[in-house]
Structure 1
Amino acid sequence: MKHRITPARFLQKNWLLVGILGCIFVAAIYPDLGSKQGPLRTEYSVKYGAVFIIFLISGLSLQTEDIFSTLQQLKLHLFIQLYTFLFIPVFTQAFVWLLSFFGIHSWVLKGLITVACMPPPVSSAVILTRTAHGNETAAIFNSVVGSFLGIMITPILLLFNLGSTTIVPLLGTVIQLIITVLVPLSLGQAVKSRTNLRGQRLPLNTIGQSALLFVIYTTFCDTFLVPETGLSAMDVIFTVFSVLILQISLMFLSFKLANRLRRYFSPQDIIAIMFCSTHKSLTLGIPILRIMFHGYSHLSQISLPLLVYHPTQIILGGLLVSQMKDWVYSQKTKRPPV
C-alpha cells in the first residue's frame, strides 16, 4: 500500500529544495540585504561564518578512520580531478561549437569555456553529498584538492582555450582555504575526540544545511544585483538554457561513467563524483575573471555564464538530493547475485 504524500511529508523530505526556492524568492525581493557590502557583511559572514560552520560540522560528524581510508582511494580522486580539469573543458569546447550554429553571442560562448576551466567550490558539493548520503570525506578531500590544483591549472587551461592567462593570488588563496576548510575541519575532529557528541543528538545536518541556505541566499542577492551586461534578453535566455543543458549533461555523464565502474566505486562514491566533479567555484572564478579581463568592456558578458552556473548547480543539486538518497538506499538493499 502506497503512502499518501501529504504537504508535511513532502516538506520533510524535500525541505532543502523548498529552502533553496525560498532563498531565491527572498533574494529577488530584497537583494541589497545579502549582497556584498550589505548590512549582513557577507564578505565575512559567508566566508568566515557559514562556510566555517559547514566544515566544522563535517569535522564533528566524520569518523577519523573513514578519513584515512578515503585518502587511499586514488582511483576515486583521479576520476574526479580528471573529469573536472580535462573532460569538462574538452566536452564544453564541443558543446560551444554546436551552440555557435545558433548565433549565440560570442562572448557568452567564451564565458561557457571559461566556466569549464574553473576549479570546484569548497562548500556546496560537500553539503549536497552529505545530504544525499554520499561519501562526504571524498567530497571534502576533492573539493580542497581541486581548489589547490585550480590555482595552477585554471590559468593554464584559460591560456590554452582562450589565449589569455592570469596570475591567481597563490598565497591568499591557500590561506583562505586553510582558514575556511582545514581549521574548522581539524577543530571539529579535535572536539569530537575529546567529547561525547554521540549522546547529545545534535541536529548537525540541519545546521549545516541552514548554513548552505545562507550561502545560497547571499549568492542570489549578488546575482540579482549584477549590473547591465550589454546583452539582449534573448542572449540572457540562451545563456540560462545553455548552462542548464551543459550542467545536466555533465551530471548525467559523470553518474553514468562512474556507475559503469562500480567495481571501483561504491554508491556513496558515485554521489560524491556526481556533485564534486561538475560543480564550479564562483568564489575563485570571479576574481580570476576580474584579473584576466580587467579593463575589458566584455567582463560582465563573459562573467554571466559563471554567475548563472553557480546558483543553477545548487538548484539542480537540491532537486536531486532526495532521489539520490533513495537510490543509495536502494543499492544497499539489493542482494548480490548468488
Structure 2
Amino acid sequence: MRLLERMRKDWFMVGIVLAIAGAKLEPSIGVNGGPLKPEITVSYIAVATIFFNSGLSLKTEELTSALVHLKLHLFIQIFTLAFFPATIWLFLQLLSITPINEWLLKGLQTVGCMPPPVSSAVILTKAVGGNEAAAIFNSAFGSFLGIVITPLLLLLFLGSSSSVPFTSIFSQLFMTVVVPLIIGQIVRRYIKDWLERKKPPFGAISSSVLLMIIYTTFCDTFSNPNIDLDKFSLVLILFIIFSIQLSFMLLTFIFSTRNNSGFTPADTVAIIFCSTHKSLTLGIPMLKIVFAGHEHLSLISVPLLIYHPAQILLGSVLVPTIKSWMVSRQKGVKLTRPTV
C-alpha cells in the first residue's frame, strides 16, 4: 500500500520511466512520420498546450506586491540566467577532456540555460516558510524571461540543429510559446473567478503533455541505431548534477547571508531554491524546438530529465535543515533587535 501511495504521489517520475520504457519497446509509434505524428502533435499542439496552460495558471495579478524587492529579483534572475549558464560553460571546458559522452555534456549546458520552474521552487520555499511571494514572482518572471533568453542562450552556447534556420526557430517559438502564453493570460482575466473556485490541475495537465513529448523524443532515439549511451557517462552525469546543485545552493546561501547583503533569512530561502532550480516543463519543449530534427536530442535532454527529480529530491531532503537554520536566524535577529 505504501508503495502504491508513493507511486501515486510521484506519478510523474513513474511516468517518465514508463514513457522511456515504452519508447524503447516500440519506438516506431512515436517517431516523426509515425502514427502519433509528433511533428505536428508534439512540435505544435503539445508545446502550445503547455504554454497556454502556463498562461492560464500564472497569477501575474498577484505579483505586484513582490515587485518592490528589486535587489532580490535581480540577484535571482542574474544568477539563474547569467551566472549559472556561464559557470556551467566554464566547467564543461574542463569536462570536455574526459571520456563523458559529449551530448550529455551539451545537455548539462542546456540545463544551465533553463529558466526557473513555475512550481517546485515555490513549493519548497513555502515548505520551509521562506519568502513565498518572492519565490512566486521570480518563478513566474523567470519563466517569461526564459521564453526569450533561454533560446538565445542555447544558440549562444550550443548552436542549433543545422536543419532548422534561426528565423524558423524563433517563429516557431513565437507561435507555440509566446502566443499561447499571452492567450492563456488573456483568457485568465475573464475566467479568473472560475479558476480560483475550481482550481484546475494545471500542473498535472502540463506534466501529462510533457510525458508525451518525452516519449516521442526517446522514440526518435531508440529508432536511431547510431546512438549509444554508455552507463559510465550516465552515472558520472548523475553525480555531476547533484554536485552542481549542492554547490550552487551553497554558493547562493553564502552570497545571500553576507552581513551587507540586505536579505532576510526568508529571502535567502527563496534565493536558494529559485536560483538553482530549472524548469523541465518549459525546457523540454524549447529543446524540441531549438534542436528540432537533431539525432542526439534525447541525449541532450537526459541531464534535464535527471536534474528535475534531483532538485526536488535534494530540496525536500534539505527542507528541515534550511527551516531550522531560518528559524534560529530569525530568533537571533529578534533577540539582537534593540527594544524601544
In the alignment, is the contact (CA less than 8 A) between 2:30 and 2:38 conserved in 1? yes
In the alignment, is the contact (CA less than 8 A) between 1:52 and 1:181 conserved in 2? yes
Dislocated runs of 4+, deviation >6 Å: 165-168, 277-280
What is the aligned counterpart of 2:10 among 2, 14, 19? 14
In structure 2, the partner of 1:75 is 75
Map of 1:111-122 to 2, 5 A cutoff? 112=105, 116=109, 120=113
In structure 2, the partner of 1:295 is none
3-state SS, counterpart of residue 208 of structure 2: helix
| Bigger mean CA deviation after superposition, 69-78 or 321-330 | 321-330
**Number of aligned positions between the proteins:** 304
Q: 1:219 to 1:94 in 2, by over 3 A?
A: same
Q: For 1:134-170, what per-residue CA distance to the aligned partner results, in whole angstroms no more than 9, with x for missing partners?
A: 84653454455456446555555469xxxxx989734
In the alignment, is the contact (CA less than 8 A) between 2:85 and 2:113 conserved in 1? no
In structure 1, the partner of 2:338 is none
3-state SS, counterpart of residue 239 of structure 2: helix
Paired with 1:44 and 1:70, the residues of 2 have a C-alpha distance of: 39
Normalization by structure 1: what TM-score? 0.71
Q: 1:238 to 1:8 in 2, by over 3 A?
A: closer
Does residue 253 of structure 1 match 2:247? Answer: yes
Q: Report the aligned-residue RMSD.
A: 4.0
3-state SS, counterpart of residue 210 of structure 1: helix
Q: 1:219 to 1:205 in 2, by over 3 A?
A: same
Residue 78 of structure 1: how far off its partner (Å): 0.8
What is the aligned counterpart of 2:309 among 295, 298, 318? 318
Q: Where does the alignment leave 5 or more consecutive residues of structure 1 unmatched? A: 160-164, 291-299
Q: For 1:234-287, what per-residue CA distance to the aligned partner results, in whole angstroms no more than 9, with x for missing partners?
A: x73343334333333322322222233345555344333323399786335535
Q: Where does the alignment leave 5 or more consecutive residues of structure 2 unmatched? A: 127-134, 258-262, 336-340
Map of 1:232-243 to 2, 5 A cutoff? 236-243=230-237
Structure 2 counterpart of 1:258, which letter? T
Paired with 1:32 and 1:121, the residues of 2 have a C-alpha distance of: 30
3-state SS, counterpart of residue 38 of structure 1: coil
| Bigger mean CA deviation after superposition, 258-267 or 31-40 | 258-267
Structure 2 counterpart of 1:185, which letter? L
Residue 79 of structure 1: how far off its partner (Å): 0.7
Q: For 1:9-32, what per-residue CA distance to the aligned partner results, in whole angstroms no more than 9, with x for missing partners?
A: 312332221221121222221122
Paired with 1:168 and 1:311, the residues of 2 have a C-alpha distance of: 21
Structure 2 counterpart of 1:199, which letter? R
Map of 1:36-51 to 2, 5 A cutoff? 36-51=32-47
Q: For 1:307-336, what per-residue CA distance to the aligned partner results, in whole angstroms no more than 9, with x for missing partners?
A: 334134224423542553575587568532
What is the aligned counterpart of 1:52 among 48, 60, 70? 48
In the alignment, is the contact (CA less than 8 A) between 2:252 and 2:272 conserved in 1? yes
In structure 2, the partner of 1:86 is 86
Q: 1:284 to 1:7 in 2, by over 3 A?
A: same
Structure 1 counterpart of 2:75, which letter? K
Q: 1:87 to 1:277 in 2, by over 3 A?
A: farther
In structure 2, the partner of 1:267 is 269
What is the aligned counterpart of 2:168 among 164, 172, 188? 172
Residue 184 of structure 1: how far off its partner (Å): 2.2
In structure 1, the partner of 2:129 is none
Q: 1:136 to 1:221 in 2, by over 3 A?
A: farther
In structure 2, the partner of 1:283 is 288
Paired with 2:185 and 2:16, the residues of 1 have a C-alpha distance of: 29
Structure 2 counterpart of 1:260, which letter? I
Residue 91 of structure 1: how far off its partner (Å): 0.8
Does residue 185 of structure 1 match 2:187? Answer: no
Paired with 1:49 and 1:329, the residues of 2 have a C-alpha distance of: 41
Paired with 1:112 and 1:45, the residues of 2 have a C-alpha distance of: 29
What is the aligned counterpart of 1:307 among 286, 293, 298? 298
Structure 2 counterpart of 1:95, which letter? L
Normalization by structure 2: what TM-score? 0.71
Paired with 1:70 and 1:171, the residues of 2 have a C-alpha distance of: 35
Paired with 1:168 and 1:48, the residues of 2 have a C-alpha distance of: 15
In structure 2, the partner of 1:198 is 196
